[in-house]
């Protein structure tokens, strides 16, 4: 604390600033400290969005997107004022800082920013209805869990109906705390589920290596090999087999990259059943029950005083 106070004094001598004390609220992010750790949420931010779009009293939903709907770029009528849709999606993107449960839906909706239609706007408003029933939800950065890094990766093969590209999803968990997640469309069309999963695995390995280097700079130097959980046995077999088959030549760079990191014991590709694959949240819309189960495993919580 002495070093912290000296730093504050120095900054105060150079800039006009005010010490507001312990962090409670910053740029729409609410910080609640307890014995369990630091709980991050955006309840007020959600409330403001609902009021702005006159949906404060709407009926809440249990999923952010309809499981039976595939959004097409040509569905519906073009919006006369697309900026309303663009503004809403921008707000939802910022909300994914503490709400990984809407990351996949926002990823899908953001693909229609240039030419949004009435159907896309209705899908975006459905996200608001989902948020209205879970405003207290956020992520807990646990204070009593071990400093062990693990990752989950998944893909939804040819899931995009407009381009038939696959969606990659991953999340990184340090102890019991989610620290990184992403839902992203792959840059090329995958010709098999194994290829789609393998590209997702490669993207996850890159993120793991970056995070491990960051944690090393912060003093966590004994993290060991990081397990990366994948539910596709074919992709795991490719990562373990040094022989290149004809079917894997087009992903040869990813093959060599992942195998090199596995041999050097920086990562450990590990099988996990699909029912326990946390990264499913970032590649597809699930059933209500499975959605809740995986969010619990991911580390998304509601504070105890709100339960």
The pLDDT assigned to 117 comes to: 92
Per residue in 267-292, pLDDT (tens digit) is 888 999 988 899 998 888 888 889 88
Question: What is the mean predicted confidence (pLDDT) over 85-106?
Answer: 94
pLDDT at 221 over 90: no
Q: For the ranges 85-94, 183-192, 277-286, which has the lowest average pLDDT?
A: 183-192
The pLDDT assigned to 94 comes to: 95
Whether residue 32 contacts residue 303, with contact meaning beta carbons closer than 8 Å, is answered with yes
Q: For the ranges 70-84, 122-136, 248-262, which has the lowest average pLDDT?
A: 248-262
Q: For the ranges 80-89, 186-195, 212-221, which has the lowest average pLDDT?
A: 186-195
pLDDT at 172 over 80: yes
Q: Which residue has the tokens 């030419």?
A: 115
Question: H-type helices in the chain, by residue range?
Answer: 2-14, 43-52, 82-95, 103-109, 118-132, 193-217, 233-240, 252-263, 288-298
pTM above 0.85, yes or no: no
Question: What is the mean predicted confidence (pLDDT) over 120-130?
Answer: 93
The pLDDT assigned to 99 comes to: 93
User: In Å, how far from its chain's centre is CA 93?
Assistant: 11
Question: What is the mean predicted confidence (pLDDT) over 63-81?
Answer: 86
Angle at CA of residue 129, ends 115 and 163, nearest 5°: 35
pLDDT at 228 over 70: yes
For the chain, what is the radius of gyration of the CA atoms?
21
**16-30, 105-119, 159-173 — most confident range:** 105-119
Q: For the ranges 4-13, 17-26, 120-129, 130-139, which has the lowest average pLDDT?
A: 17-26
CA distances from 46 to 42, 90, 137 (A): 6, 13, 11
Mean pLDDT of the chain: 87
Q: For residues 133 and 31, what is the distance between their CA atoms, to the nearest angstrom?
A: 20
Which class for 303: exposed (0-12), middle (13-18), buried (19 or more C-beta within 10 A)?
middle
pLDDT confidence bin for 7, thresholds 50/70/90: very high
Question: What is the mean predicted confidence (pLDDT) over 107-134?
Answer: 92
pLDDT at 174 over 80: yes
Question: What is the mean predicted confidence (pLDDT) over 222-228?
Answer: 88
The pLDDT assigned to 307 comes to: 43
The pLDDT assigned to 145 comes to: 81
Q: For residues 279 and 259, what is the distance between their CA atoms, to the nearest angstrom?
A: 21
Per residue in 235-256, pLDDT (tens digit) is 888 777 655 454 555 566 666 7
The CATH class that applies to domain 147-300 reads alpha beta
- Identify the three-state secondary structure at position 126: helix
So where are the chain's domains? Answer: 40-137, 147-300
Q: For residues 114 and 125, what is the distance between their CA atoms, to the nearest angstrom?
A: 18
Please tell me which residue, 54 or 161, carries the higher pLDDT value.
54
pLDDT confidence bin for 198, thresholds 50/70/90: confident
């Amino acid at each position: 604390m002495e070093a912290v106070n000296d730093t504050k004094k120095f900054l105060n001598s150079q800039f006009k600033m005010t010490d507001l004390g312990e962090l409670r609220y910053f740029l729409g992010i609410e910080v609640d400290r307890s014995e369990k750790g630091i709980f991050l949420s955006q309840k007020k931010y959600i409330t403001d969005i609902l009021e702005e779009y006159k949906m404060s009293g709407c009926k809440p939903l249990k999923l952010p997107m309809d499981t039976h709907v595939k959004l097409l770029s040509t569905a519906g009528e073009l919006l006369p004022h697309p900026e309303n849709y663009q503004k809403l999606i921008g707000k939802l993107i910022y909300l994914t800082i503490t709400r990984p449960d809407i990351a996949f839906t926002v990823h899908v909706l953001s693909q229609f920013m240039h030419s949004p239609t009435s159907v896309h706007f209705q899908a975006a408003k459905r996200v608001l209805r989902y948020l209205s029933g879970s405003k207290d939800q956020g992520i807990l950065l646990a204070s009593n869990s071990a400093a062990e890094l693990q990752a989950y990766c998944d893909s939804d093969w040819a899931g995009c109906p407009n381009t038939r590209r696959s969606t990659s999803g991953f999340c990184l968990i340090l102890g019991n705390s989610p620290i990184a997640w992403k839902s992203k469309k792959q840059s090329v069309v995958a010709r098999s589920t194994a290829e789609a999963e393998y590209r997702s695995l490669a993207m996850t390995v890159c993120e793991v290596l970056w995070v491990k280097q960051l944690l090393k700079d912060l003093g966590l130097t004994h993290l060991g090999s990081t397990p990366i959980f994948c539910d596709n046995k074919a992709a795991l077999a490719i990562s373990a087999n040094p022989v290149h088959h004809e079917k894997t030549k087009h992903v040869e760079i990813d093959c060599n990259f992942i195998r090199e990191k596995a041999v050097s014991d920086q990562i450990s590709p590990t099988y996990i059943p699909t029912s326990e694959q946390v990264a499913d949240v970032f590649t597809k819309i699930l059933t209500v029950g499975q959605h809740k189960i995986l969010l619990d495993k991911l580390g998304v919580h509601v504070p105890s005083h709100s339960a």
